[in-house]
Amino acid sequence: MFKCVATLLIVAGVCLIAGTNGFFLSKTDKCQVAVFKGGKEFGGEKIMANKSFVPYLKSVGQVAKACKVKVHVIDSYKQLKTPKDFVLSSEMPMALGTGIHFDLQDQKGGTVCNKLCMVSRSWKTLPDATCFINGLKTKGIKFTEPNLIDDGSVGKLTSTQLDQLKVHTQELCAPKKKTSKG
């Protein structure tokens, strides 16, 4: 009985040390993309966002609330087939987890400016939609026609830097492959 308890304690100790070390060592090399729960200011597809993009999304939610609209999300982070896949610069935020495509609904989920409306830039004729788009700019959030919100990093980094960042992010966030088949 005593032997059994002693063994258990040692095993528990080893696990604790291994676990803690693992935590400290892998901290910087973990996938930083996770689900962002936006609350009632967001609808549509679930948002997958890099940690660094979360403060931007929170501001987006504040602007939406102030303008009485709901951000209807069309897509966000996309896992590529392989990290080296070519990505157009306009689609880069989707590969980095730093952007969303969207259109606009009212707070009850009714249409304010759907995708066609965004593409034809008709939001300019709609007071609530104009309030939202202009509100983004005053908060320093990048809006690119027709319907992209992102953190602005694509405009600031070189294509080489973006490519490295993309490969790094995509590698870290790739689903773990099952090794059973070798």
CB of 142 to ligand NAG, least distance (A): 13
| Contact with ligand NAG (CB under 6 A) among 38, 44, 47, 50 | 50
Residue among 136 and 162 whose Cβ is closer to ligand NAG: 162
87 binds ligand NAG (CB under 6 A): no
Q: In sequence order, which residues have a C-beta less than 8 Å from that of residue 41 and are 6 or more positions away? A: 60, 61, 62, 64, 65, 70, 71
Measured between alpha carbons, how far is 150 from 144 in angstroms, rounded to an integer? 8
Asked whether position 52 contacts ligand NAG by CB under 6 A, the answer is yes
**Which regions of 16-154 does DSSP assign to beta strands (E)?**
33-36, 42-44, 47-50, 69-75, 99-106, 111-113, 142-144, 148-150
Total number of residues that touch ligand NAG (CB under 6 A): 9
Interface stretch with ligand NAG, choices 47-55, 67-75, 133-141, 142-150 (CB under 6 A): 47-55
Q: Which residues bind ligand NAG (CB under 6 A)?
A: 32, 50-52, 96, 98, 153, 165, 169
